Amino acid sequence: MIPVRGYQDRKVGVLGLGRSGMATAHALRAGGAEPICWDDSPDRRAEAEADGFAIADLTKDASWSGIAALIVSPGIPHLYPTPHPAVTLAQSHGAVVDNDVGLFFRSFATEEWDMMENPPRVVAVTGSNGKSTVTALIHHILKETGRMVQMGGNIGRGVLSLDPGEDGEVFVLELSSYQIELARALTPDIGVFTNLSPDHLDRHGGMGGYFAAKRRLFAEGGPSRAVIGVDQPEGRFLAAQLRERESDGDPVIRISNGKLTGDGWHVFARKGWLAEWRRGRQVASFDMRDFRGLPGAHNHQNACAAYAVCRSLGLNPRDVEAAISRFPGLRHRCQIVGEKNGVRFVNDSKATNADAAEQALRAFSNIHWIAGGVAKEGGIAPLLPLLDRVKKTYLIGEAAEAFAATLRDTPHEICGTMVAAVDAAQKAAIPGDVILLAPACASFDQFTSFEARGEAFEALVANILAAK
Query: Which residue from 219, 206, 7, 247 is spatially nearest to 106, judged by alpha carbons?
Result: 7
Q: What is the pLDDT of residues 7-40, one digit of tens each?
A: 999 999 999 999 999 999 999 999 999 999 999 9
Task: List Cα–Cα distances, 418 to 213, 331, 359, 453, in angstroms.
Answer: 35, 18, 21, 8
Query: Which residue from 285, 281, 242, 245 is spatially nearest to 261, judged by alpha carbons?
Result: 281
Residue 360 near residue 367 (C-beta atoms within 8 A)? no
- Kindly state the DSSP code that residue 252 receives in the 8-state scheme: E
pLDDT of residue 464 exceeding 90, the answer is: yes
pLDDT of residue 171: 98
pLDDT of residue 382: 95
Assigned fold of 109-325: UDP-N-acetylmuramoyl-L-alanine:D-glutamate ligase (3.40.1190)
What residues form DSSP beta bridges with 7? none
Integer Cα distance of 369 and 436 in angstroms: 5
Sheet arrangement for strand 343-347: 335-340, 343-347, 434-437, 367-372, 390-396, 412-416
Q: What is the largest CA-CA distance in the chain?
A: 68
Integer Cα distance of 398 and 414 in angstroms: 11
Is the pTM above the cut of 0.75?
yes
CATH of domain 11-98: 3.40.50.720
CA 65 from centre of chain? 37
Is residue 130 part of an annotated ligand binding site? yes
Q: Outline which parts of the chain fall under CATH 3.40.1190.10.
A: 109-325
Is residue 131 part of an annotated ligand binding site? yes
Task: List Cα–Cα distances, 274 to 255, 271, 282, 362, in angstroms.
Answer: 10, 9, 11, 18
Is residue 129 part of an annotated ligand binding site? yes
Query: Which residue from 189, 216, 204, 209 is spatially nearest to 126, judged by alpha carbons?
Result: 216
Other C-beta atoms within 10 Å of 353: how many?
A: 24
pLDDT of residue 416: 96
Integer Cα distance of 71 and 99 in angstroms: 5
pLDDT of residue 197: 84
Is residue 127 part of an annotated ligand binding site? yes
Q: Outline which parts of the chain fall under CATH 3.90.190.20.
A: 335-466
Q: Outline which parts of the chain fall under CATH 3.40.50.720.
A: 11-98
Is residue 133 part of an annotated ligand binding site? yes
Assigned fold of 335-466: Protein-Tyrosine Phosphatase; Chain A (3.90.190)
Respond yes or no on whether the N-terminal peptide bond of residue 81 is cis (omega within 30° of 0). yes
- The confidence band for 245, taking pLDDT boundaries of 50, 70 and 90, is low
Residue 349 near residue 437 (C-beta atoms within 8 A)? yes
Q: What is the pLDDT of residues 293-343, one digit of tens each?
A: 898 888 999 999 999 999 999 999 999 999 999 998 888 989 999 999 999
